[in-house]
Structure 1
Amino acid sequence: MEKKQTFERAVLKIALPVTLQSLLQSSFSVIDQVMIGRLGSGSIAGIGLGGKFASLYSVVLAAVASAAGIMISQYFGRKDEKSAGRSFLLNLALSVALAAGFFLLCIVFPEHIMAVYTKEEGTKELAASYLRILAVSFLPMAVSSMLTTMLRCMEAAAFPLYASIFALVWNTGLNYLLIFGKWGFPRMGVAGAALASVIAQLISCIVIFLFFLHNKKKRGMKLLVCQENKTDHCQEISEQGVERHPSGRAGEFRRQYLEILCPLLVCEFLWSLGENVYTAIYGNIGTDACAAMTMTIPVQTIVIGALSGLAQASGILIGKSLGAEKFGQAYEESKKLMKYGLAASVMLSLALTAVSPFYVKIYCVEPQVQEITRRLLLAIAVIAPVKVLNMILGGGILRSGGKTKYAMWIDLTGTWIFGVPLGILAAFVWKLPVAPVYFILSLEECVRLGISFVIFRKKIWMESIQ
């Protein structure tokens, strides 16, 4: 009983802060959209297009953070803090390098980049100016992402939550001041929105870094910087200075790291591309369909965000059990986590079904758009438990053993062999309304879940990283 309660506490310790952080970010982003929406259609389009390219950086950064989380959680499970620190610094270095590359692109070629997205000169100029300023946030975003991953693996997920609350409040306040020129600040419009984001990211990075230093000192943790020369070695950074430790495993470490990271990069990029195809399918059905789908985005974000913490906790906790080579325990804990996710998602689906008639009336749109939105929300409610189980199983548990190629092939099969073709058939051949189209293409979630269960039961994903 005590062991079970310890596991439950560990789940809540990670899942609850991550969930609250996700929900807070969702709510503040809605506020930001409302404020930016007052700038006019040209400014909205400019910010949207600039953010679209920036999201490519976010996707790549998320893949690196995911690889970092897999390795660090396993090393902590094995009580190998030296390797955990080495993995953290390696991923931090890669993230900083990616940030520098994207930053240079956005500073030197913003107009060329935005020319790919739009031919309208006014919109292109706004988007380019927004992207040029926003690019400054890439470096602090990279550092924050890696520090957040490390803190979550330390089961200190509350610290990034506190930093996010602080930064999000600043971002919203600065948006109000800089976009509209309030309280003596200049009216900067689109540039003000970008500058507010940069300042908020800097604040978040500083606060998370201070939390990290506090937690590192509390644990007495040391970090490793791996170097390579004729006598391959690692330098251990500690409060007392630098010590050398021989190591002949650098080549194996890099090989294993690339085997984890590369499938994640492919998976995240092609998944993001698939989501853009889905958006194009909905957009081509008609204006009412596009408007209705847009109205469901806040609800989808909240429903998925409410259980994103459980998916994060799954990857970290199962990774620790695998790292300690407690394979039976990892398997049983995985089943518990899926049961928790299923129960919570069914309750959320029932709540969504109940509130959907009232939610659609918030928007001042035509009655037919409200009805389309209500039907979409019902379809979302039906498919939500499957989505959540995929998040926990495919996005957390199966990845935790480092065999990310399984997750890559599962996602690619679901999205590109089933989801995209089914969506095209439903929308353009069968010419169905948007709600059935959404439901039919979302059946790819069922395909992914079926494949994931087969792999899960075979236990071929269970591996301890050496």
Structure 2
Amino acid sequence: MFHYLRREPGFYRRLFRLALPLIIQNLITTSLGFVDTFMVGLLGSNELSAVTAANAPIYLIQVIIFGLMSGLTILVSQYWGKQDLDAINRCMGFAMYAGLVIAAAMAAALFLFPHQVLLLVTDNRTLVEMGAPYLRIVGISYIFNAVSSVYVSMQRSAENPALGMKVFAASMLLNTFLNYCLIFGKFGAPALGITGAAIATLTARIVEFLIVLVYALLCRRIPLRPRLLLRPGRDTARSFTKYATPVLFNETMWGLGTTVMTSILGHMTDSADMLAAYTIMGNIDKFTTVSCFGLAGATAVILGKAIGEGTDKDRVYDLSWCLLIVSFLLGLGLAAALALALPLVFIPYLYPLFSLSPLATEAAATLCVVYLILLPLKSFDISNITGVLRSGGDVRMATIIDLTPLWCVAVPMAALTALVLEAPLPLVCLGIYSENICKMPLGVLRLRSRKWINDVTRRSAS
């Protein structure tokens, strides 16, 4: 198996150059959410739980935007291999239309009906009242984020991952500063608490959008062609719909499953404690998997470009195994780091910062133990589904492999152990993460079939 790791000179340097900016970009993006969580957590456990409940529907918007970005990557990486800049502009234009429509519709729903949306997540009226103002404001921010994310994704798929790293770094720094000012009332600003965190996020997203707009207007590497952006054409619409719709459905249903998981914990007897623990573990998960998703993003670009260039299927297959083995080894390394961090950092230093109750601390620690055991499998699955299978246009099977374990195993197991049986905490945690046990065998079977290797490009319409 490890003979797949023998590659031509310079291959791992290229992989590192692609993956590192993506990892940093993902780390920065994740930090935006963590900054909100950390600073709001300093206000108290109820405030932390309220933001957790509010972020459940917000997370659904995030995964939809991620779905559009993933669908765009499938097409752009292969068109980049052919150097078809017209087709890239058309694909980007269609993705922006879709992102704006979806983000605006969901932002309107969150603005007009925040209480009703939050009641779907938790029946704790105190958390609903605290989280509603946050939900209204943060929803609007994703209208701007949809456009900037699509453009950054296009540049990333064309082997320019550094743009996203720089844009989101500026956004994170601004968001952190404004959080400090508006949550706690520093530098003459009013102390707005949760609402201040939402205003900070919205402001950072607007600035992020403006930076991307200026860069796009000045970029000569892939110049904007307004005629193609505004009128992408039916051929592009059909291609994008064929390959991006299953990805969008995948990410939406995956995000909905995660939201349902939050809702299950929100209806437990000790809902505030469980939600607080799940929030902290969720942020640890996001920080841990930034490397996994960065490597998966680089995998998608490398394989997509190779397929677009007409590389032989056997070479593409060997290359995919190399990248997946690297991903599995990355997961092992991250799991070992978490195993050390839990007793040395998390329990004595991190958890006390959030003023967790003894039950919430126990839940957070148990979630971490179960998570790190399954992390190598999770890392492999991320690269296989979002990197390998999608890069070859095998989006339908990737969707089946990703969603079936979540909806048919993890969600029922979590509901059964948490709400019906009221099982011991370790079993509840195992139920939450049980999907990772099922995905890898299914993914390997599809990988070995080689049916996922497809050239999805077509000539651009004139």
TM over 0.5, shorter chain: yes
Match of 2:347 in 1: 360
Match of 2:315 in 1: 329
CA distance 1:125–1:376, change in 2 (3 Å): closer
Match of 2:453 in 1: 462
Partners of 1:388 and 1:402 in 2: CA distance: 21
**Aligned residue type for 1:410:** I
Kindly report the root-mean-square deviation, in angstroms, between the aligned alpha carbons of the 2 structures.
Answer: 3.1
Deviations 1:147-191 (A, max 9, x none): 110110121111211121111111111111122222222333333
Partners of 1:454 and 1:36 in 2: CA distance: 44
Match of 1:223 in 2: 225
Partners of 2:190 and 2:415 in 1: CA distance: 47
Which of 263, 267, 270 lines up with 2:246 in the alignment? 263
Match of 2:108 in 1: 104
Q: CA deviation at 1:2?
A: 12
Percent of matched pairs sharing the same residue: 27
Match of 2:376 in 1: 385
Larger deviation, residues 333-342 vs 186-195: 186-195
Larger deviation, residues 432-441 vs 403-412: 432-441
Answering whether residue 26 of structure 2 is matched by residue 22 of structure 1, we say yes
Deviations 1:385-413 (A, max 9, x none): 00000000012110112221111111222
Deviations 1:270-301 (A, max 9, x none): 22232234345556385666655444333322
Larger deviation, residues 51-60 vs 116-125: 116-125
CA distance 1:125–1:88, change in 2 (3 Å): same
**Aligned residue type for 1:361:** P
Answering whether residue 382 of structure 2 is matched by residue 398 of structure 1, we say no
Q: CA deviation at 1:266?
A: 2.3
CA distance 1:444–1:137, change in 2 (3 Å): closer
Structure 2 runs not aligned, ≥5 long: none
Q: Secondary structure at the match of 2:187?
A: coil
Answering whether residue 41 of structure 2 is matched by residue 55 of structure 1, we say no
Partners of 2:203 and 2:153 in 1: CA distance: 21
Q: CA deviation at 1:197?
A: 0.8
Structure 1 runs not aligned, ≥5 long: 229-233, 236-249
Q: CA deviation at 1:370?
A: 5.2
Q: Secondary structure at the match of 1:265?
A: helix
Q: Secondary structure at the match of 1:463?
A: coil
Q: Secondary structure at the match of 2:378?
A: helix
Q: CA deviation at 1:360?
A: 1.4
Partners of 1:103 and 1:273 in 2: CA distance: 16
CA distance 1:30–1:21, change in 2 (3 Å): same
Answering whether residue 68 of structure 2 is matched by residue 64 of structure 1, we say yes
- 1:126-165 equivalences in 2 (<5 Å): 126-165=130-169
Q: Larger Rg: 1 or 2?
A: 1
Q: Secondary structure at the match of 2:8?
A: helix
Match of 1:305 in 2: 290
CA distance 1:367–1:115, change in 2 (3 Å): closer
Q: TM-score under structure 1 normalisation?
A: 0.84
Partners of 1:381 and 1:423 in 2: CA distance: 18
Answering whether residue 430 of structure 2 is matched by residue 439 of structure 1, we say yes
**Aligned residue type for 2:207:** I
CA distance 1:112–1:460, change in 2 (3 Å): same
Aligned residues: 445
Match of 2:179 in 1: 175
CA distance 1:53–1:381, change in 2 (3 Å): closer
Which of 283, 302, 306 lines up with 1:317 in the alignment? 302
Q: CA deviation at 1:430?
A: 6.5
Match of 1:193 in 2: 197
Q: Secondary structure at the match of 1:4?
A: coil
Contact 2:307–2:454 at 8 Å: present in 1 too? yes
CA distance 1:156–1:447, change in 2 (3 Å): same
Larger deviation, residues 151-160 vs 103-112: 103-112
Q: CA deviation at 1:462?
A: 0.8
Q: CA deviation at 1:128?
A: 3.7
**Aligned residue type for 1:464:** D
Contact 2:257–2:406 at 8 Å: present in 1 too? yes
Partners of 1:442 and 1:116 in 2: CA distance: 22
Answering whether residue 95 of structure 2 is matched by residue 95 of structure 1, we say no
Partners of 2:6 and 2:122 in 1: CA distance: 59
**Aligned residue type for 1:335:** W
Partners of 1:176 and 1:220 in 2: CA distance: 38
Contact 2:446–2:452 at 8 Å: present in 1 too? yes
CA distance 1:193–1:13, change in 2 (3 Å): same
Partners of 1:44 and 1:446 in 2: CA distance: 30
Contact 1:13–1:155 at 8 Å: present in 2 too? no
Contact 2:390–2:398 at 8 Å: present in 1 too? yes
Larger deviation, residues 150-159 vs 18-27: 18-27
Partners of 1:45 and 1:377 in 2: CA distance: 19
Contact 2:37–2:51 at 8 Å: present in 1 too? no
**Aligned residue type for 1:269:** T
Partners of 1:198 and 1:92 in 2: CA distance: 19
CA distance 1:257–1:45, change in 2 (3 Å): same
Partners of 1:143 and 1:96 in 2: CA distance: 7
Match of 1:73 in 2: 77
Larger deviation, residues 109-118 vs 65-74: 109-118
Q: CA deviation at 1:426?
A: 4.7
